[in-house]
């Protein structure tokens, strides 16, 4: 028996979103626009927040962190898809495939936990304003940010190790444009029952923040409804409305993808993943900045500073 296991593992083939050439072209053009917008938008948010001392508070630090995660999150899949399309190749090595999966899971979790931190921050600010600075202390913020990365990596590691130890015999066509856990499990010829259990635990860990977000917003709305003036209600709603839009987009598409039996997964579901892998990281900076006066002022300042230099 030969020992060079690794060299016998063939490349995986990324089938794209439908497996059809025309749709690959559409995806390529879409990503060609989305990716630079995502990078620029999120980078501007980080620069604007760090250069404006009025934005040096937890809400904006979390937003900067969200942008930071989003830059990496979209870089896990989009550049590979673009490069492969240019090279007319669909191949990805086994190690590349597992790397993509690892960072996809780690960053999606970091994203998810950061969104929860943002919701909790707003809930405390709106319903317990007098205790805000003691509850959301700088130390607590750092804890939440570091915690989101720790949970992300802790959730990614078991799935990656377990998937890496599976056998793949023959069929290596991954039914998506990147290496995602569901299409990979479907390809394996090993017994995947344990992997599937761990996968659903992972989906659970990923969904805990959603629960925190829902509880935070229930608290926000119950406080807002007690504010006598309609002006106060509208202001509070506009602050949180943008956040809720992102959250619904993100979790709506994620849940459509993972909250169901593995057997029902097919290539046509890959389209759904474009939404949270590529579209939400692009929309985040716009949704958070366009309706936010302080953020817009900071961006204007950033540009005028650059121009006057």
Ligand X SMILES: *[C@@H]1O[C@H](CO)[C@@H](O)[C@H](O)[C@H]1NC(C)=O
Contacts of 167 (CB under 8 A, 6+ apart): 188, 189, 190
- Binding-site member from 23, 37, 68, 279 for ligand X (CB under 6 A): 68
> Given strand 91-92, what is the order of strands in its sheet?
91-92, 12-14, 173-174
Answer yes or no whether residue 141 interacts with ligand X by CB under 6 A.
yes
Pick 24 or 70: Cβ nearer ligand X: 70
Phi, psi dihedrals of residue 66, rounded to the nearest 5°: -60, -45
- Binding-site member from 46, 78, 110, 210 for ligand X (CB under 6 A): 46
CA distances from 161 to 80, 150, 195 (A): 22, 17, 10
User: By CB under 6 A, how many residues form the interface with ligand X?
Assistant: 8
Pick 46 or 151: Cβ nearer ligand X: 46
Kindly state the smallest distance separating residue 79's Cβ from ligand X, in Å.
21
Kindly state the smallest distance separating residue 221's Cβ from ligand X, in Å.
26
Answer yes or no whether residue 64 interacts with ligand X by CB under 6 A.
yes
Pick 31 or 62: Cβ nearer ligand X: 62
What the block records as the tokens of 145 is 């940010």
Answer yes or no whether residue 114 interacts with ligand X by CB under 6 A.
no
What is the Cα–Cα distance from 173 to 170, expressed in whole angstroms? 9
Q: List residues bridging with 91 in a β-sheet.
A: 13
Answer yes or no whether residue 61 interacts with ligand X by CB under 6 A.
yes
Kindly state the smallest distance separating residue 288's Cβ from ligand X, in Å.
13
What the block records as the tokens of 47 is 């620069």
Pick 61 or 206: Cβ nearer ligand X: 61
> Angle of helix 280-289 relative to helix 21-51, nearest 10 degrees?
40
CB atoms within 10 A of CB 218: 11
- Binding-site member from 83, 135, 142, 201 for ligand X (CB under 6 A): 142
With contacts defined by CB under 6 A, name the span among 11-19, 63-71, 175-183, 241-249 that binds ligand X. 63-71
With contacts defined by CB under 6 A, name the span among 24-32, 59-67, 85-93, 191-199 that binds ligand X. 59-67
The alpha carbon torsion through 283, 151, 253, 165 (nearest 10 deg) reads 120
Answer yes or no whether residue 143 interacts with ligand X by CB under 6 A.
no
DSSP assignment letter at 278: I
Instruction: Report the interface residues with ligand X, using CB under 6 A.
Output: 46, 61, 64-65, 68, 141-142, 145
């Amino acid at each position: 028996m030969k020992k060079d296991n690794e060299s016998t593992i063939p490349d995986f083939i990324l089938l794209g979103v439908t497996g059809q050439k025309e749709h690959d072209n559409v995806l390529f053009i879409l990503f060609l626009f989305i990716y630079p917008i995502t990078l620029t938008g999120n980078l501007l948010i980080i620069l604007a927040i760090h250069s404006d001392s009025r934005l040096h508070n937890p809400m904006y630090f979390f937003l900067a962190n969200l942008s930071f995660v989003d830059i990496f999150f979209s870089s896990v899949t989009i550049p590979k898809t673009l490069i492969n399309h240019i090279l007319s190749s669909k191949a990805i090595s086994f190690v590349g495939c597992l790397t993509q999966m690892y960072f996809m899971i780690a960053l999606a979790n970091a994203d998810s936990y950061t969104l929860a931190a943002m919701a909790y921050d707003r809930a405390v600010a709106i319903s317990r304003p007098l205790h805000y600075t003691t509850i959301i202390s700088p130390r607590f913020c750092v804890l939440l940010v570091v915690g989101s990365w720790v949970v992300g990596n802790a959730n990614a590691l078991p799935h990656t190790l377990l998937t890496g130890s599976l056998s793949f015999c023959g069929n290596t066509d991954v039914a998506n444009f990147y290496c995602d856990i569901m299409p990979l499990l479907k390809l394996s010829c090993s017994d995947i029952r344990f992997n599937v259990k761990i996968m659903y635990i992972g989906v659970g860990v990923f969904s805990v923040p959603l629960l925190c977000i829902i509880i935070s917003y229930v608290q926000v709305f119950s406080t807002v409804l007690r504010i006598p003036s309609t002006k106060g209600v509208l202001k509070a709603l506009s602050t949180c409305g943008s956040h809720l839009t992102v959250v619904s987009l993100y979790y709506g598409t994620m849940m459509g993808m993972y909250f169901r039996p593995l057997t029902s997964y097919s290539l046509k579901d890959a389209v759904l993943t474009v939404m949270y892998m590529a579209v939400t990281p692009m929309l985040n900076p716009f949704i958070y900045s366009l309706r936010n006066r302080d953020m817009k002022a900071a961006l204007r300042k950033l540009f005028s500073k650059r121009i006057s230099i």
